[in-house]
């Protein structure tokens, strides 16, 4: 069934198809429509789940942790300050190895108060132990939400499904809503390895001494490592059923490219357009889209980027005092590439707080990247006027 819907509702429908059993959430712009639609689904019976109302995002995540620990499929959604308020519990979810799926609608952090998109909210949670998947289209949002549960429940790690505020959350696109039977085949009922059981009561999350703590962290890291190979496999399994695949990264017209753009989120769609135009003009420009940020697909990115002459990373985020976060991670990944294959890296910071990133903006970046010998500074800010 194909329906025209906003990105937020694509999340809701993904959750519905995934037969989620417990939802706990607190509203925040621009996420609210996700859980509004879900509460309607719970009320009218389209989704036989328990919807737990709470008084904050901290409580929402706490309720999800409880429910997930009880062995059921669990979902929440948030944005920006709401995600920041969850911070402590993001560690509890990941350290408890609970396969919670959360949608984060990327919104700039306040102050100044701003409801528009950038990636600093999710990237601030980089080290909490959550898998992070960035989406480009509403269809990808729907598909990724379903895939996220299978991924989370296979490796026992929580997954953040991330979409841009307004450019996806509030923009309508046609979405193929995969039939329930197909989703059921892809995503069976969750079977929890450990769960709260009154018949065999155990304490969860209690004291772990130095002699075992590091071993637990090792196992968490191994699960992340497993995810690097598992995520593309799950994506492929979904593609076999639906014909739609995305990959941890996607190479777009990268063959023999001398200049590669690296993007994530909706900037990717704009950048595809620019790449097509440049290719028509005979320029060797290509695009690498990064979907999975954690675990970081270091090997795949090295393979994709090594050999190119120049790499321009477009970061809709900033690590204050350092640079664009994707750019710095990629710079680090390329360090082990032999010097002769190592591209020159240009880290552009742009589009913060929802500022438009138009084809003209990306054109200017391409021109600038062609013309410079090397980046004159670590972070190249685009369009700042003072």
Residues in touch with another protein (CB under 8 A): 95-97, 156, 194, 198, 200-208, 212, 215-216, 218-221, 223-225, 228, 295-296, 298-299, 336
Q: Half-sphere exposure of 133 toward its Cβ, with a 13 Å CA cutoff?
A: 31
What are the Cα distances from residue 117, in Å, to 87, 120, 143? Answer: 19, 9, 21
Residue 341 CA to residue 204 CA, distance in Å, equals: 49
The DSSP output letter for 225 is: H
The nearest distance, CB 52 to another protein, in angstroms, is 11
The pair of structure tokens assigned to 23 is 């939802």
The nearest distance, CB 346 to another protein, in angstroms, is 25
Cβ(168)–Cβ(137) under 8 Å?
yes
Q: 193 or 374, CB closer to another protein?
A: 193
Contacts of residue 81, Cβ cutoff 8 Å, sequence gap at least 6: 28, 109, 110, 121
Q: 177 or 224, CB closer to another protein?
A: 224
The DSSP output letter for 291 is: -
The nearest distance, CB 356 to another protein, in angstroms, is 36
Q: 98 or 314, CB closer to another protein?
A: 98
The nearest distance, CB 98 to another protein, in angstroms, is 9
Residue 176 CA to residue 328 CA, distance in Å, equals: 36
Residue 290 CA to residue 326 CA, distance in Å, equals: 9
The nearest distance, CB 249 to another protein, in angstroms, is 15
The nearest distance, CB 191 to another protein, in angstroms, is 15
Cβ(288)–Cβ(305) under 8 Å?
yes
Residue 345 CA to residue 372 CA, distance in Å, equals: 11
The nearest distance, CB 213 to another protein, in angstroms, is 9
The DSSP output letter for 343 is: P
Q: 43 or 360, CB closer to another protein?
A: 43
Q: 220 or 242, CB closer to another protein?
A: 220
Angle of helix 87-95 relative to helix 57-69, nearest 10 degrees, comes to 10
Cβ(315)–Cβ(375) under 8 Å?
no
Q: 115 or 228, CB closer to another protein?
A: 228
The pair of structure tokens assigned to 87 is 């911070």
The nearest distance, CB 300 to another protein, in angstroms, is 12
Q: 194 or 381, CB closer to another protein?
A: 194
Q: 224 or 230, CB closer to another protein?
A: 224
């Amino acid at each position: 069934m194909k329906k025209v819907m906003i990105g937020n509702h694509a999340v809701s429908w993904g959750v519905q198809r995934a037969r989620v059993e417990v939802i706990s959430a607190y509203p925040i712009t621009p996420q609210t429509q996700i859980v509004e639609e879900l509460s309607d689904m719970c009320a009218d019976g389209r989704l036989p789940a328990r919807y737990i109302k709470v008084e904050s995002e901290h409580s929402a995540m706490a309720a999800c942790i409880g429910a997930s620990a009880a062995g059921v499929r669990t979902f929440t959604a948030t944005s920006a300050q709401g995600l920041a308020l969850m911070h402590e519990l993001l560690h509890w979810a990941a350290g408890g190895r609970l396969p919670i799926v959360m949608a984060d609608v990327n919104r700039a952090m306040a102050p100044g108060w701003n409801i528009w998109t950038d990636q600093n909210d999710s990237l601030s949670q980089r080290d909490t132990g959550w898998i992070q998947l960035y989406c480009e289209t509403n269809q990808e949002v729907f598909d990724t939400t379903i895939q996220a549960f299978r991924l989370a429940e296979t490796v026992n790690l929580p997954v953040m499904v991330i979409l841009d505020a307004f450019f996806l959350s509030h923009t309508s696109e046609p979405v193929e809503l995969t039939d329930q039977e197909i989703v059921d085949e892809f995503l069976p009922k969750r079977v929890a390895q450990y769960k709260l059981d009154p018949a065999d009561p155990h304490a969860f999350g209690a004291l772990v001494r130095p002699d075992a703590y590091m071993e637990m962290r090792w196992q968490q890291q191994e699960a992340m490592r497993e995810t690097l190979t598992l995520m593309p496999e799950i994506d492929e399994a979904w593609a076999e059923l639906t014909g739609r695949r995305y990959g941890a990264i996607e190479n777009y017209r990268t063959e023999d490219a001398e200049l590669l753009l690296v993007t994530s989120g909706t900037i990717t769609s704009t950048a595809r357009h620019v790449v097509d135009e440049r290719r028509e003009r005979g320029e060797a420009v290509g695009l690498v889209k990064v979907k999975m940020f954690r675990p970081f697909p270091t090997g795949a990115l090295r393979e994709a980027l090594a050999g190119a002459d120049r790499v321009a990373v477009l970061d809709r985020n900033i690590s204050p005092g350092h640079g664009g976060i994707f750019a710095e991670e990629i710079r680090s990944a390329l360090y082990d590439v032999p010097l002769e294959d190592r591209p020159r890296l240009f880290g552009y910071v742009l589009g913060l707080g929802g500022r438009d990133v138009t084809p003209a903006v990306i054109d200017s970046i391409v021109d600038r990247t062609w013309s410079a010998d090397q980046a004159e500074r670590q972070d190249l800010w685009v369009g700042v006027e003072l």
